Amino acid sequence: MSTPNAVPVSLAEIARIAGVGRAAVSNWRRRHDSFPTRIGGTDVSPQFSLAEVEQWLRDNGKLKDIGGREFLWPRFEALGSRDESGLAIAESARLMRAPRARVSPSELSPAARELVSEAARLGRSEGPRETFEFLLQRWLETHVRQLSTTPSQLASLVTRIALAVRLSRGEGGLTVFDPACGTGHLSAAAMQEYDGSGLVVLGCERDPALAALACARLGFVTENREVRTEIATADALRDDPFAGVRADIALCNPPFNERDWGYEELATDQRWTHGLPPRTEPELAWVQHLLSHLKPGGAAVIVLPPAVASRKAGRRIRGSLLRTGMLRAVVALPPGSAQPHSVSLQLWVLRAAPDSPVSPAASQDALLVDATRFARPGAREPGPDWDALGAFVLSALEVLDHPDADLPESAVRVPLLDLLDDEVDVTPGRYTASSTEPSGIELAASWGRLGASLADLAGHVQYLSKLGFEAETPQATATVGDLVKAGALTLRAGQQPSETAAPSREAAVPLLTVPDLLMDGTPSGLLPVGSAHTIVEGGDVVVAGVVRAFKAWVHEGPPMALGPQLYALRVDQEKLDAHFLAGCLRAPANGRQAGTHASSSSRVDIRRLQVLQLPLEEQTAYAETFRRLTTFEALLAKADDLGKGLVSDVSDRLAAGGLTA
């Protein structure tokens, strides 16, 4: 057994350190008597000594060429306290940037202070900023249920919107304000998006650990730049540390649904120029807080839950925001844009009235933009198509200052008279739904595509229905394992990608995983070109080795990397036809026979899959039929999608009236 001071690590953490899947670690534990003994946890979730694991990995040649960060993080996690580990990471960052500085005698324990010194030394050797970002990301992942962060892509979009919408563009630089900055995602995005001089970034965060991490993050972003930053640790609503300060742009992703936001003590606060926010509407308090800090013509963008746009309690404040021209636009984001990922969050775009008589007057309407169609349900990680989403939203917002500009689809200008009713509902989908009904020309085109698909289906039905089969007679088969031994094919297993910086798209190969197959089959990851992973090329057969996603196909197109539980088979073309092999392998009965268990999450033993033993010349007819069967399956799916879409579109048109036949 290990000592009481041992740093515990789980099987998942060991797999991450070794750059393998968790199943591989479980296999090592089963096969090697020398594997470290469990020091804690349970039989289902055991924990092991980090030092013993590191020594075992080195002794058995299982440790890949990784930096010390992987071994450093479990020690931060072992500190136990979320706040202490966060403060320790922030203090480490400070020391990384200032080699001669000493650890501050703060709330940190002796163990934490010692760890801070080690982390600072490691960061200076392996890259200060990279080491800090690694530790910060692990900290955020560990405490994901307690924290709500703004994804970097959303932070960038929010900043670009604010910069585009603001009217105040003086020569004195830019002041950015974020009253609930968290770990500084929005502030960092503003510093990256604005490349001018005279940048001032002001932030506020009531959680000391988050505020310290925000300071650390911005410290790296400001390197080699003349930028003034100030992060205050305070409750911005109750005790505003920047009272009287005015900013060019304000960005905010505030806490949602907080009832204890200061309703009683702030009842007479001068910020509530549009009305006292009800106790159940804290988000509208943040909206007015942002407006109170804007310069004339300044812009604010705030991330809000969709209920704020329609809740009855907030209708009076929404009405005032609309009448005064402060609320310029509402953008409905696709689900998955930020936490909570199941909700279609909204961006409220606000702008303070300009003080110049030559500035354009606010138009008497509001822009409502429904961008929910940019969701990517097939992506491995939650999130929309950010490039397309950003281009669409920024294009739609151009009409705020150019009323004659054409609106893109799913964006609509709504007159105030239509909004200022008993509900004052500014939910974009309520007003854009009618504008997205398909036209007669679009319906005709859809019917034409469906007809062409059905015609193709009929041709394949005619061919496949004429297939004849002899009475059942035993057919000789060979397993994939036998064919590998005979040299008829080679078998390679996909691998768990190591956690490295994301490569540029120009120097990357797509990564396909089992979750991708369970969605739409589109690779959602990228790996650096030349990385030591299983790469398939055109003509290789790919097999998914799990029951719930079992399939086999011949890869076509550019090279692609395979993740865990995916396998690449490369045939000897003098012995096997790739399409014949894929057709034999993907037979459902074949997969059931080779499955290791009965559950849908179990694996398929690829080496046990059966393949007909036929001469190469006889394989050709089978290969052609397998191809037709695969095409038939794809046409069925396409016709199904087209048919469902037409049912939905025609139902909408019928419900809108105007039937002529």
Q: pLDDT tens for residues 146-191?
A: 888 899 999 999 999 999 999 866 567 899 999 999 999 999 999 9
Q: Are 347 and 301 in contact (CB under 8 A)?
A: yes
Residue that wins the pLDDT comparison between 303 and 641: 303
Query: What's the pLDDT score for residue 389?
Result: 93
Within 10 angstroms of residue 530's Cβ, the number of other Cβ atoms is: 10
* Percent share of the chain, pLDDT over 90: 39
Per-residue pLDDT band for 209 (boundaries 50, 70, 90) equals very high
CA distance 76 to 89: 8
CB-based contacts of 253: which residues, under 8 Å, 6+ apart? 148, 150, 158, 180, 182, 185, 186, 302, 303, 338
Average pLDDT score over residue span 419-423? 91
The top-scoring range by mean pLDDT among 105-114, 326-335, 548-557 is 326-335
Residue 286 has pLDDT above 60, yes or no: yes
pLDDT band at 504 (very low <50, low <70, confident <90, very high): very low
Query: Is the pLDDT at 114 greater than 80, yes or no?
Result: yes
Segment 62-72 shows an average pLDDT of: 71
- Is a pLDDT exceeding 70 seen at residue 358? no
Cα dihedral: 540, 545, 549, 550 (round 10): 70
Do residues 531 and 496 make contact, with C-beta atoms less than 8 angstroms apart?
Answer: no
CA distances from 269 to 264, 273, 451 (A): 10, 9, 65
The Cα–Cα gap between 395 and 367 comes to: 12
**What are the residues whose beta carbons fall under 8 Å from the beta carbon of 240, sequence distance 6 or more?**
179, 204, 234, 289
| Mean pLDDT on 486-513 | 72
Of the two residues 348 and 464, the one the predictor is more confident about is 348
Close Cβ partners of 569 (under 8 Å, ≥ 6 residues apart): 480, 489, 490, 491, 492, 540, 541, 542, 543, 581
Can you tell me the distance from the alpha carbon of 571 to that of 555, in angstroms, rounded to the nearest whole number?
12
Specify the 3-state DSSP secondary structure of 615: coil
Q: How confident is the model at residue 100 (pLDDT cuts 50, 70, 90)?
A: low
Across residues 62-69, what is the average pLDDT? 68
Q: Mean pLDDT check: name the lowest of 267-271, 591-595, 629-633.
A: 591-595
Q: Which of 202, 233, 206 is nearest to 218 (CA)?
A: 202
Cα–Cα distance measured from residue 530 to residue 509, given in angstroms and rounded to the nearest whole number? 9
pLDDT mean over 374-399? 80
For residue 335, give both structure tokens.
Answer: 């689900």
Q: Is the pLDDT of residue 618 over 80?
A: yes
Tokens of 576: 């096997």
HEC secondary structure over 170-209: CCCCEEEEECCCCCCHHHHHHHHHCCCCCEEEEEEECCHH
Phi-psi region at 224: left, alpha or beta (left = phi > 0; alpha = psi -120 to 50): left
Rounded mean pLDDT, 501-527 = 70
Distances (CA, A) of 118 to 76, 92, 132, 140: 11, 8, 13, 21
- Residue 496 has what pLDDT? 77
Instruction: Report the chain's mean pLDDT, rounded to a whole number.
Output: 85
Q: What is the pLDDT of residue 600?
A: 44
Query: How does residue 271 score in pLDDT terms, banded at 50, 70 and 90?
Result: very high
Bigger pLDDT: 376 vs 478: 478
Q: Can the peptide bond before residue 340 be classed as cis, meaning omega within 30 degrees of 0?
A: yes
Total length of the chain? 661
* Backbone phi and psi for residue 654, each to the nearest 5 degrees, phi listed first: -65, -40
Tokens 């202490």, located at residue = 84
d(CA 242, CA 228): 15
Confidence at residue 245, expressed as pLDDT on a 0 to 100 scale: 94
Average pLDDT over residues 621-646: 89
Match 């949602």 to its residue by tokens.
Answer: 256
Number of helices (H), then strands (E), in the chain: 21, 22
Whether residue 378 has pLDDT greater than 60: no
